[in-house]
Amino acid sequence: MKKSLLFILALSAMMTSCATATNKSAEESATASDSTEVRTVECVASGDVVFVDLDYIMSASKFYASEGKAYETKMQEFQTRATEAQQGWAKKEESLAKEYNKLQNDAAKLQQDYEKGLVTTLKAQERQAELQKKGENFQTRMTGFQTTVQTETAAFQQEEQALAEEQMVLMNRFQAIAREAISEINADRRYKMIVNAVSVVDADPTLNISDLVLQKVDELYAAGALE
């Protein structure tokens, strides 16, 4: 499930389109051929397009060390408790199923023995009363078990929703500080385009400004930019 903070962060790229220019031939051909139109596409230079790896920035940032790890620990503890609870429910359910089947088998055997004349009516009635009492006790415990599972399941769901909301807040906080860092770094518009590394198929590593953004993110976070 996991990259940093158990989620992948996305950031809108600041994009500038390439400009298209149309240049016509400066002179007519001396031959009978038609004049031609030459179309060129003027794109920004490669150095003007850079990218950032937001996953890397998140995992290496002071923000993650302070808030992200705490959240991950909380999530891991929740998942451990939920898994252990589910395993405990499964074992209890298996045990109750075996007990129920035994009661059913004991009742069927008593009926068969009585029909075969292997037990007296009085003995059969006494044994039937015992089985009925055990059945009532079983039903009480089964109902209690089901109520416990429903209550604990509701509590886990509520906690899971709270963790999901906390995760969303963390995502929003990181995106906010990352946007601010990129905005400050590119305040002079030195880069015409900054894209997220998840959208990059191949690129010159020198166009990666993640460390520059990471440094600015840490500066902003230390300065209380999110407070």
> What is the structure's pLDDT at 48?
85
The dihedral of CA 220, 221, 226, 227: what is its sign? negative
Dihedral Cα 82, 87, 88, 93, nearest 10 deg: 130
DSSP string, 49-96: EEEE-HHHHHHHSHHIIIIIHHHHHHHHHHHHHHHHHHHHHHHHHHHH
Cβ–Cβ contacts within 10 Å for residue 37, how many?
9
CB 124, CB 114: distance < 8 Å: yes
Contacts of 49 (CB under 8 A, 6+ apart): 191, 192, 193, 194, 195, 207
Residue 26: the pLDDT is 34
Q: Which residue has the higher pLDDT, 215 or 28?
A: 215
Judged against a pLDDT cut of 70, whether residue 2 lies above it is answered with no
The mean predicted confidence, pLDDT, of the chain is: 83
pLDDT, tens digit, 9 for 90 and up, residues 30-82: 333 443 333 333 333 335 899 999 999 999 999 999 999 999 999 999 999 99
Residue 78 near residue 159 (C-beta atoms within 8 A): yes
Per-residue pLDDT tens for 106-125?
A: 999 999 999 999 999 999 99
CA separation for the pair 182, 194 (Å, rounded):
9
SS3 category, 202: coil
| C-beta of residue 37 within 8 angstroms of C-beta of residue 24 | yes
